[in-house]
Amino acid sequence: KSKKTAKAATKQIKRAGVLGAGIMGGGIAYQSAVKGVPIVMKDIRREALDLGLAEASKILGKGLERGKINQKVVAKTLTSITPTLNNSELADVDIIVEAVVENPKVKGSVLAEIEKVVAKDAIITSNTSTISIDKLAENLEDPSRFCGMHFFNPVHKMPLVEIIRGKHTSDETVAAVTAYALQMGKTPIVVNDCPGFLVNRVLFPYFAGFSKLLDDGIDFPGIDKVMEKEFGWPMGPAYLCDVVGLDTADHATHVMAEGFPTRMARDDNGAIAKLAAAERFGQKNGKGFYEYS
Ligand code: NAD
């Protein structure tokens, strides 16, 4: 008897939805749209939607200036992003990328809410930096259609996307999300679930080490200068924190400490926690380690 080898075809992503129009949501919307997958971008704040669209226009403007794209691409990309304050506009998307604040409770309720809005076979993903996918999956009725889809900042420049497989994630979900990442021009890697996944398990100990150097009295511009100019990294840790967002980094240190209590103990007196508490969130509000005009 011949073995049946026919596999279910990978789900095609024709229309996407992103929850949150911040640094990441705006970038994800741009990247999906520019690669030909229209996307609905939802936030709870009108200003965030405006900023997300402005960021997409800025990136397109630079592309136009450098002759990499033409006016037609600019217009097509911008009309492929539909900003909205209403979940109901996400009813017919094939995939959701959740990119709201790095807080398990907020993400949990946002995910539970959206599952009721989208079709039964729509895929739901989270762009969480650190929160366990299995933990987030507890908020969903069908966790088989859920996984992590972790982009990096700035989305339009960073090739990597971590696809995080939870214990209930189906093969079909992983295949469809991988295909969507490729469609977006990214390099997907599939990783197992744990707080911080792969990249942030490397990055957050680095931030913790940086913070300890500050405690020892070393000044941050000096550290940045060494890491950047002499060690050859594209940016030093203080500047990177400002790019990431001190509030997001601070939320993430809570999650990492909970997941790895001895290895990644949280330092409430560390520079990241203190700057976040002082609402110095980095580039997003013009002040972090450095000041921006
Ligand atoms: P951000 O603060 O720039 O944006 C978050 C957005 O979510 C805000 O615009 C806020 O209004 C919106 N929001 C809050 N509650 C919402 C809700 N209920 N529905 C819809 N929108 C809501 O944050 P960010 O840096 O874009 O981070 C978003 C997610 O991406 C986080 O999980 C973060 O860990 C992850 N991430 C961040 C980076 C980074 O470098 N900043 C990199 C990778 C992943």
Instruction: Summarize pLDDT for 31-60 with one digit per residue, the tens.
Output: 999 999 999 999 999 999 999 999 999 999
Whether residue 218 has its Cβ less than 6 Å from ligand 1:
no
Tell me the whole-structure pTM to 2 decimals.
0.94
If you count them, how many residues does the chain have?
Answer: 293
- Which domain CATH number covers 130? 3.40.50.720
Q: Considering 162, 192, 222, which residue would you say is the last residue of a domain?
A: 192
Whether residue 201 has its Cβ less than 6 Å from ligand 1:
no
Structure tokens at 35: 């690669």
Residues 177 and 75 in one domain: yes
In three-state secondary structure terms, 81 is: strand
Q: Considering 133, 163, 192, which residue would you say is the last residue of a domain?
A: 192
Instruction: Summarize pLDDT for 238-255 with one digit per residue, the tens.
Output: 999 999 999 999 999 999
Which residue has a Cα nearest atom 8 of ligand 1?
A: 22
Q: Which amino acid is at 253?
A: T
Distance 181 CA to ligand 1 centre (A): 19
In our burial notation (b when 16+ CB lie closer than 10 A, e otherwise), range 199-224 reads bbbebbeebbebbeebeeeeebeebb
The answer to whether residue 150 is catalytic is yes
Whether residue 102 has its Cβ less than 6 Å from ligand 1:
yes
Q: What is the model's pLDDT at position 1?
A: 45
Q: Considering 167, 192, 217, which residue would you say is the last residue of a domain?
A: 192
Residues 37 and 148 in one domain: yes
Does the pLDDT of residue 3 top 80, yes or no? no
Residues 54 and 188 in one domain: yes
125 with 147: CB under 8 angstroms?
A: yes
Confidence label for 9 from pLDDT (cuts 50, 70 and 90): confident
Tell me if ipTM is over 0.90.
yes
Confidence label for 25 from pLDDT (cuts 50, 70 and 90): very high
Q: How many structural domains comprise the chain?
A: 2
Range(s) of the domain holding residue 173: 16-192
Which residue has a Cα nearest atom 31 of ligand 1?
A: 102
Residues 74 and 164 in one domain: yes
Q: What is the model's pLDDT at position 286?
A: 97
288 with 246: CB under 8 angstroms?
A: yes
Q: What is the model's pLDDT at position 252?
A: 95
Residues 220 and 166 in one domain: no
DSSP string, 240-274: HHHHH-HHHHHHHHHHHHHHSTTTT---TTSHHHH
Residues 20 and 84 in one domain: yes
Distance CA 288, CA 181 (A): 31
